[in-house]
Structure 1
Amino acid sequence: MYQPPHFKEERLDVQHALIQAHPLGLLVTNGSSGLIANPIPFALDASASPLGTLRAHLSRANQQWRDFDPAQEALVVFQGVESYITPSWYEAKRETGKVVPTWNYVIVQAYGRMRAIDDPEWLLRQISDVTRHQEAGRPEPWSTADAPADFLAAQLKGIVGVEIEVTRIEGKWKVSQNRSDTDRQRVAAGLRDDAHEEAHAMADLVETRGAKS
């Protein structure tokens, strides 16, 4: 992806933290019918390979697990917080009017070759990992062990696993680092006036990331 130096995030732990916080990734593959993209939740095993390994599952009826080229890279896009940025917050709006709107966002793109896995034990581990992560902190967290064994076995027959050992990963934190201190302060203040929680999260990033070093 397009990577101006001041937006680039190369720290693997930061990239992995975004994946874990926003595990619904857009899986993009290329096959005989062309490009296919599906949003699916992933579990990240950070220790399984140098850049981490992504595991997920697809419905058996979903053709993506059949129609992909294993010799080509698959791409998984993980989208973090994002917010529209109005030019009204910039100092130059008042001084010259020479401003335009933009969009702030945080994103990670992970690449690697995908393989399909049709193994009930593997699938059960993958589902258990995803639900354990998502259920953590709930007063009464649900576990795969809560479902009847025969029911769970039947459900597993309807899905197929996919695994991607990440061989290339890119992070981009576009959070107003290219603006002046005054503009960043005004952007953060404007975002905090927004009623949406995501805007407040973006305000935190604008304040903490600072200017291009």
Structure 2
Amino acid sequence: MGHLQPYDKRESSAQEPRVYCPPLFAANDPAHCYALMRAHPLAHLVRQDGGALAADAVVLWPDAEAGVLRGHVARVNPLSACDGAGVLAIFSAGDAYVSPGWLPGKAEHGRVVPTWNYRVVHAHGRLRVVDDAAWLRAQMEVLTDAQEGVLGANWRVDDAPADYIAAMLGVVVGIEIAISALEGKDKLSQNRSVAERAGVRQGLAARGEAASAAIAAAMNRIEADQGERS
């Protein structure tokens, strides 16, 4: 990953991505971004389509060493005709509502409002269409093995009949995106006081559902990192 530099807001050019991100929420470290993309590989892939914007939900698996995202789409998908196009892949890595009732200020002065905490990664790059059965099979094996490994390796591509897999490969094309810039944004109440952050973490954890618990865990990691640095 050494060749891929995190996006630096201090530099400016017409070619650079622009996403609103206060410095407190910036999470541009490539290792961090790749970890979130692996954990949440379903991306919204945005491109220009004539004078409008088009977006598709596509599973994109990151290869940190090569600095690329790889996936596949139906051959009939208009993306299959977008070789060379500039694209933006947006990975949502979790979100949760934050109630003002969790903040000490509700009882103290009432000047509090709701907000939303979330984590997101934007990957910018150029799309390459790959119409090659061997490439496609290798990509599907990497993706499937990664997901099935979490489940105890219940299924492998080789488990299906060879003629069936060949037929399935025939109706899709591969896509590879050479990443030119990564932008990570973790909005996790970093702009709040210690007491407010504690209230948010407790409130999220008390909801008892996975999405809020994941955001609370991410906030806990930030607190732990800050404690180690202090």
Give TM class, smaller chain. over 0.9
| Counterpart residue type for residue 133 of structure 2 | P
The one of 19, 35, 58 equivalent to 1:40 is 58
| Structure 2 residue identity aligned to 1:194 | R
Counterpart position of 1:9: 27
In the other structure, the counterpart of 2:77 is 62
Q: What is the rounded CA distance, in whole Å, between the counterparts of 1:15 and 1:142 in structure 2?
A: 28
Shift of the alpha carbon at 1:198?
Answer: 1.6
Q: Which residue of 1 aligns with 2:176?
A: 163
Is residue 158 of structure 2 the alignment partner of residue 145 of structure 1? yes
Whole-angstrom CA distance in 2 between matches of 1:114 and 1:151: 28
- The SS at the match of 2:48 is strand
Q: Give the superposition deviation at 1:77.
A: 0.6
Q: Does 1:74 align with 2:87?
A: yes
Contact 1:36 1:64 in 2 (8 A): no
What secondary structure does 1:137 align onto? helix
Please state how far the C-alpha of 1:33 moved relative to its aligned partner.
Answer: 6.2
- Return 5+ residue gaps in structure 2 as ranges: 1-18
- Give yes or no for the alignment of 1:24 onto 2:37: no
Measured against aligned partners, the alpha-carbon deviations of 1:127-150 in whole angstroms (never above 9, x if no partner) come to 111101100033342111111111
Unaligned runs of 5+ in 1: none
The residue matched to 1:39 in structure 2 has which SS? strand
Q: Deviations over 1:57-85 (max 9, x none)?
A: 0011211221x372x52000111121000
SS across alignment from 2:142: helix
**2:205 is aligned with 1:192:** yes
Residue 89 (1) aligns with residue 102 (2): yes
- Measured after TM superposition, the shift of residue 191 of structure 1 is 0.8
Q: Within the alignment, does 1:207 sit opposite 2:220 as a pair?
A: yes
| Aligned equivalents of 2:79, 2:110: Cα separation in 1 | 48
- Check whether the contact 1:191–1:199 (CA below 8 A) recurs between aligned residues: yes
Distance 1:33 1:119, change over 3 A: farther
Instruction: Provide the aligned C-alpha RMSD in A.
Output: 1.6
Amino acid at match of 1:54: L
Task: State the aligned residue count.
Answer: 207
Length-normalised TM-score, structure 1: 0.92
Equivalent position of 2:149 in the other structure:
136
**Is the Cα–Cα contact under 8 Å of residues 30 and 69 in structure 1 kept in the other structure?**
no
TM-score, normalisation: structure 2:
0.85
- Deviation at residue 187 of structure 1 after TM alignment: 0.6
Is 1:31–1:69's contact at 8 Å kept on the other side of the alignment?
no
Does the CA-based 8 Å contact 1:185-1:207 persist in structure 2? no
